[in-house]
Amino acid sequence: MKIQKTDMCGGRLFSGILFYSVPIIISSVLQLFFNAADTIIVGRWSGKTALAAVGSTGSLINLIINLFIGLSIGVNVAVAQHLGAKRYKEASEAVHTSIALGVISGVIVAAAGMVFAPGLLRLMGTPEDVIGEAILYTRIYFFGAPFLMIYNFGAAVLRADGDTKRPLYFLTAAGAVNVILNLIFVIVFKMGVAGVALATVISQFISCVLVINCLTRLEDQCRFTPKYMKIYGKNLSNIVKIGLPAGIQNCVFSLSNMLIQSGINSFGSSVMAGDAAASNLLGFVYVSMISVAQAALTFTGQNVGAKNYRRTGKICAVSSLISAVVGIITGGTILLFAEPLLRIYTSDASAVEAGKIRLLVIGLTYFLCGIMECICSGIRGYGKSFVPMAVSMIGVCGMRMIWIYTVFASYHTLFVLYSSYPISWILTTSAHLICFIVICKRHLRLGGAEKERTAETVG
């Protein structure tokens, strides 16, 4: 199947970023629809406790897998920069290194998740009426981690190559299977959270097989040939240099979210269920905005490889604008229909009221997170991953931790707890913007000096 790829180094940026982002947005939203089906099915047919159990595991799962998911950002930037600079041999080596790294990281994540999840769930203060099902869910979920990692690394390669459509097709197929299996395992076989987790693992396996099959059939420099799969040292270094700080940042984000989840847990299972439903709804806003940030990452990476430094500032501005508009529209729409949407997940009145508080505080301000992520992606596209990690750890994670142990400790309400999100986004976005401007100007100076040296040599 012939797929038209996006030209990232030429043409109109607004339409280019928008058309590149749309398949990512659709695939991410579809994935969340399928995940929402998980939550709705388990909440409706297995009860409030099962819904709380699944919802309480999200921040923990993210903590463990995000370190390695961050490496897929390194894959995207490394491959994109090689392609932009027309270093096709290095691009091929980066592809094979990426898949090998996906296999290794998947095995590590699976082992870590199954071993450490029970202790961490208890450390988070997961209530006794929830803990058993939460442990069961996480252990089954982590069994599928290798499939999840290989898919993410493979999809990162395709997106760096300008192809965002096929990852959409693969997730659609896998997600449809996930929903069907959820209905069978939970409603027919009464398997509860175990059925939801097992359906997720099977769908991850399907998406993994589809992306690998696609990569082996490519006819360009990003083709994957299994016999050449190995770790190429120089490419591994580039991937880790960019991806590891991003992964650490994601882990620390998840750690701060675990602290917030601990605060939510202190209000009991009804609030936990409402928070899980609201978080699932807000996930649609987040993935839509982060899809635009992925476009900013790839566009910047290719243009940095091609030394089109002036274009990167425009990429950052355009992607931030698109992301903010997407965040305002989707967040406002969900808030407008908050109660009927929450009642799809649960009929418990106290859970619905708790969910409405989260939607009010975060839904109105989520666009700030979208802008923050686009600027952060612009910095990473330059290959500078330590800077956004440091800024985010201080501005987002540090601020939220301080908030929880000071303001929330004094005013123990959900509104106060959730207010830590927009405040941290405002502080961190401002710091990221300053860093991006400094990095961009520095490369413009270096690029100008390089052109002068070239002109003198030719002269």
Residue 98's pLDDT is 94
Q: What is the mean pLDDT of the chain?
A: 86
Tens of pLDDT along 324-340? 999 999 999 999 999 99
**Contact between 222 and 94 (Cβ < 8 Å):** no
> Which contacts of 408-417 are long-range, i.e. CB under 8 A and separated by 24 or more positions?
408/263, 412/266, 414/264, 414/267, 414/271, 414/354, 414/357, 414/358, 415/357, 415/361, 417/260, 417/263, 417/264
- State the average pLDDT over residues 154-172: 89
pLDDT at 251 over 80: no
Residue 30's pLDDT is 76
**Which three-class secondary structure state does DSSP give residue 177?**
helix
Tens of pLDDT along 408-419? 989 989 999 999
**Contact between 39 and 54 (Cβ < 8 Å):** yes
C-alpha–C-alpha distance, residues 442 and 436, integer Å: 10
Tens of pLDDT along 261-281? 888 888 888 888 888 889 888
- State the average pLDDT over residues 98-108: 92
C-alpha–C-alpha distance, residues 395 and 378, integer Å: 18
CA atoms within 13 A on the CB side of 375: 27
pLDDT at 258 over 60: yes
Residue 4's pLDDT is 65
pLDDT at 458 over 60: no
Residue 59's pLDDT is 67
Residue 459's pLDDT is 41
Extents of the domains making up the chain: 13-448
Residue 36's pLDDT is 67
Tens of pLDDT along 59-69? 677 766 777 77
Determine phi and psi for 40, rounding to 5 degrees.
-65, -45
What pTM was computed for the model? 0.77
Least-confidence region, from 243-247, 378-382, 443-447, 450-454: 450-454
- State the average pLDDT over residues 242-267: 81
Helical spans, DSSP H, in 266-413: 269-305, 309-336, 338-345, 349-363, 366-381, 386-392, 399-405, 407-410
Q: Which is more confident, 42 or 435?
A: 435
Most confident region among 201-210, 267-276, 388-397 by mean pLDDT: 201-210
- State the average pLDDT over residues 342-364: 90
pLDDT above 70 as % of the chain: 93
Which single residue is written with the structure tokens 């609030």? 271
DSSP for residue 266: T
The CA-based angle 31-333-267, given to 5 degrees, is 75
- State the average pLDDT over residues 56-79: 78
Q: Which is more confident, 27 or 138?
A: 138
Report which of 39, 63, 66, 35 is spatially closest to residue 53, judged by C-alpha positions: 39
**Contact between 50 and 42 (Cβ < 8 Å):** yes
Which single residue is written with the structure tokens 């590590």? 108
Which single residue is written with the structure tokens 């040292």? 233
**Contact between 107 and 67 (Cβ < 8 Å):** no
> At 41, is the pLDDT very low, low, confident or very high (cuts 50, 70, 90)?
confident
- State the average pLDDT over residues 122-140: 83
Residue count of the chain: 459
**Which three-class secondary structure state does DSSP give residue 329?**
helix
Most confident region among 184-193, 254-263, 430-439 by mean pLDDT: 430-439
Least-confidence region, from 87-101, 157-171, 417-431: 157-171
